[in-house]
Structure 1
Amino acid sequence: MFSIANVSELFKDAQYVNFYPFVGENYFSAPHKILVLGESHYGPKTINSNHDFTNWIVGEDYLLPKIDGKGFPGYTRCFDNTARVLAECCNSDSYKVYREIAFYNYFQETVGEGHHRSKAFLTSELVEKSRKALGEVLETLKPDLVVGWGYSRLEWEWLPHDRKQIWQVPGKLHLFTIDEYLPVPFWCMKHPSNFFPVGLHRELYGLIKEHLWGK
Structure 2
Amino acid sequence: MTTSDKQFDSQFDKVENLVHYLWIGCNYASAPKRVLIMGDSHYTVNDEGEFCLEEYDRCVTDKEYTRGIINCAIEEGSWKFHTNLQKTFLDESDMDVEGFWNKIASYNFIQEPMKGTHEVPSLADYETAWKCLADVVQIIKPDVCIFVGLRNDKGMNILEEKGVKYSIQTLDEKINNSYPKRGELQFVDGNKLPFYMIHHTAQYYSPQLWYDFLNKEIPEVVSFLDK
TM over 0.5: yes
Alignment of 1:13-28 (within 5 A): 13-28=14-29
Aligned residue among 46, 53, 57 for 2:65: 53
* Matching residue of 1:8: 9
Alignment of 1:21-170 (within 5 A): 21-43=22-44, 44=53, 45-46=56-57, 47-59=59-71, 62-66=72-76, 72-73=77-78, 76-87=79-90, 89-91=91-93, 93-96=95-98, 97-110=100-113, 112-113=114-115, 115-119=116-120, 122-151=121-150, 153-155=151-153, 157-160=154-157, 163-165=166-168, 170=172
1:8 Cα deviation (Å)? 2.4
Distance 1:56 1:160, change over 3 A: farther
Deviations 1:147-171 (A, max 9, x none): 11121x223x3544863248x8742
Q: 2: CA distance between counterparts of 1:160 and 1:105?
A: 20
Deviates more, 1:43-52 or 1:178-187: 178-187
Deviations 1:109-136 (A, max 9, x none): 21x32x42224xx555443322211111
Q: 2: CA distance between counterparts of 1:183 and 1:48?
A: 31
Letter of the structure 1 residue corresponding to residue 74 of structure 2: L
1:18 Cα deviation (Å)? 1.6
- Consecutive unaligned residues in structure 2, runs of 5 or more: 45-52, 159-164, 175-179
Deviates more, 1:189-198 or 1:124-133: 124-133
CA RMSD of aligned residues (A): 3.0
* Matching residue of 1:171: 173
- Consecutive unaligned residues in structure 1, runs of 5 or more: 67-71
Letter of the structure 2 residue corresponding to residue 54 of structure 1: T
Distance 1:2 1:94, change over 3 A: closer
Indicate conservation of the 8 Å contact 1:84/1:95, yes or no. Answer: no
The percentage of aligned residue pairs carrying the same residue is 19
Indicate conservation of the 8 Å contact 1:84/1:91, yes or no. Answer: no
